[in-house]
Structure formats: structure tokens, C-alpha cells
Structure 1
Amino acid sequence: MSKSFDRYSGMVFFAIGLAFVIESRKITESAYGSNVGPDIFPLGLGLALILLSIRLFYETFKYPKETKMREKLDYKKFVIILISAVLYGLFLETIGYVITTFLFLIVGFQVMERGKWWKSLVIAGGFSYGVYFLFVEILEGTLPGFPVWFS
């Protein structure tokens, strides 16, 4: 918990979120065959990033005084998450959104906190299918569905 790192991170993420919002306004608002345009996701992501960065910046004022203890960085976890994110992007079209998101979340949950398999499975499954259902069925957007060999 580093006060200065969190403050600077909050400022950087605020700027990134603002850039997402500004640039999403330049994207056309409608897509063929979809009621949800391609500008909705970056706009929402930018707004969420702005709100979370404001919250992070605000929370840094509540931190206790800094001590000079340094935490050891865990490169192994970082590399595992990075590789799984790259694989997620590579297999998204082939395997589909629900399965790749489910697998990515399982890997992420287990890297961050080993064990609690049932909790990880339920949250990853609910989130993966829930977001897919919300976006595709309710908002009538498009996401890569299930693979052909699965149905």
C-alpha cells in the first residue's frame, strides 16, 4: 500500500478513462444488426475507470502514514495473468466469449487466491454467461457465441 503510487495511478487511470470517453464519442453510434452501437462499451469502460480512479485518489487520503517497508513484487503471478490474457484474446473468436471468459476468470481467481474452487467456478460461470446473456439477448449486441463443435 503506497500512497504516492496509488495517487499517481489514480491520475493516470483518470486520464486513460477520459481518453476512452472522448475517443468513444468519435465511433459511430450504430452497428448493422445491433441496437447497441460499438461506442457503448468503450464509453462505459471509460466512465467506470474515471469513477474508480476518483475513488482511488480519494482513498489515498485515508491511508496511514507510510512506512519504508517494501513489498516483494510477484512476477510469477504477473506473467501467468499476462499469458492468460494473451491466450484469451487469441481464442476469443475460436472458442467463443462464454468459454474463454470463464477459463480466463478461473485462471485469474486461482492465481490471485488458490483454493475456493466452487466459489471461483460459480462466479466465473455466472459472470461469463450473465454478461453474454445481457449483451446479446437483452441489448441485442453481438459477441462470439459458443463454438460450432459445442452445440
Structure 2
Amino acid sequence: MNTTFDRYAAIVFFAVGIAFIVGAQSISTSAYGSNVGANMFPMLLGAFLSIMSVRLLIDTFRKQKAEKGKEQLDYKRFLIILVSAVLYAWFLEEIGFVISTFLFLMIGFQTMQKGKVWASLLIAGCFSYGVYFLYVHVLEGSLPGFPAWLGGA
């Protein structure tokens, strides 16, 4: 962990989270055919991002005293996650939320810690379908379903 980088990243992510919350206030609170408004997801995402940023900032101050030497930044992992995030956003509509989220999580899990493939499969599958089911069926929102070639709508 590079505490200086993490500290600046926490501040930037906190600002982005606040910007999401403020920006979500200008989005419509209701959507056609949905009980959940379009502003709900960005607002929750911004709140979650802000809370996690504060947590990261606190951790950097705690670990600053324990840090002895400088660590090298891991550009390879960063680029893999960045490219997979861009591809996730690019293909979300085409292959659907469940499949694209599952693939993104699998790439992220295996990039951060190789091995434990079965645990990664289980967590990524349960999370991606669980969020889809909760948002679409329970909250009656709308997300891109499965692609047509898999029998989706």
C-alpha cells in the first residue's frame, strides 16, 4: 500500500462521490415503468464511494507510521482493471447486466488475487444475479437483461 497515493486517491474519490450525490439531485425521481427513479443508483453509488473514501483516508493515516520504505506502484494490475472497467461500460447494453458484471468481477478478483477460482465464480455469480434480481424484481427498476441470443428480452 502506497499511503501517499492512497491518501490523494481517497480525497479525489470523496469529491467524485459528493459530485455523484449532488448530480443525482437534478435527475428525475421517477421513471416510466419503474418504481425506482433514475436518481437512486447514482445517489447510492456516490454515498458508498464517499464512505469508502473516508475509510481509506483514515487507514492511510493509521498505516503512515508503520510504513518503512517506498513501494512500487503496480501499473499492470491498474491497467487490467481500467481496461476491464471500460469494456464493462462498453458492453453493458449488448451482453446485459448480469453477464457483464459477472465478467468484470471475475477479472477484478483474479487480477487482485490469483487462485480461488471457485470462490470467485460463486461470489461474482451470486452478486451479479443478486443485484439484478433485487433491482429489477424487488425494486421494480430496469437494467439491461440477458442478450437476445440467450433468450433474453
TM-score (norm 2): 0.89
Q: Which moved more, 1:106-115 or 1:59-68?
A: 59-68
Q: Which runs of 4+ in 1 moved over 4 A?
A: none
Tell me if structure 2 keeps the 8 A contact 1:2–1:66.
no
Q: 1:108 and 1:139 mapped to 2: Cα distance?
A: 27
Is the CA contact (8 Å cut-off) linking 2:84 and 2:104 kept in structure 1? Answer: yes
Say whether the 8 Å CA contact 1:3–1:66 is kept in structure 2: no
CA distance in 1, matches of 2:7, 2:73: 19
Q: How does 1:89-128 map to 2 (within 5 A)?
A: 89-128=89-128
What stretches of structure 2 of length at least 5 have no aligned partner? none
User: 1:21 Cα shift?
Assistant: 0.9
1:41-92 per-position Cα deviation (integer Å, ceiling 9, x unaligned): 1111111122122222223332252646222222222222222222212211
Q: Which moved more, 1:50-59 or 1:21-30?
A: 50-59
Deviates more, 1:94-103 or 1:12-21: 12-21
Q: Distance in 1 between matches of 2:51 and 2:17?
A: 9
Point out the more displaced range, 88-97 or 48-57.
48-57
Distance 1:114 1:90, change over 3 A: same
AA aligned opposite 1:91: F
Between the aligned residues of both structures, percent identity stands at 59
Q: What is the root-mean-square deviation in Å for CA atoms of aligned residues?
A: 1.7
* One-letter amino acid of the counterpart of residue 149, structure 1: W
**Can you give the 5+ residue segments of structure 1 that lack an aligned partner in the other structure?**
none
Q: TM-score, normalised by structure 1?
A: 0.90
**Residues 22-48 of structure 1, C-alpha deviations (whole Å, 9 max, x = no match):** 111011101111001110011111111
Measure the CA separation in 1 of the matches of 2:9 and 2:87.
26
Residue in 2 that maps onto 1:75: 75
Partner of 2:135: 135
SS at 2:103 equivalent: helix
Tell me which amino acid in the other structure corresponds to 2:18. Answer: L
Contact 2:35 2:140 in 1 (8 A): yes
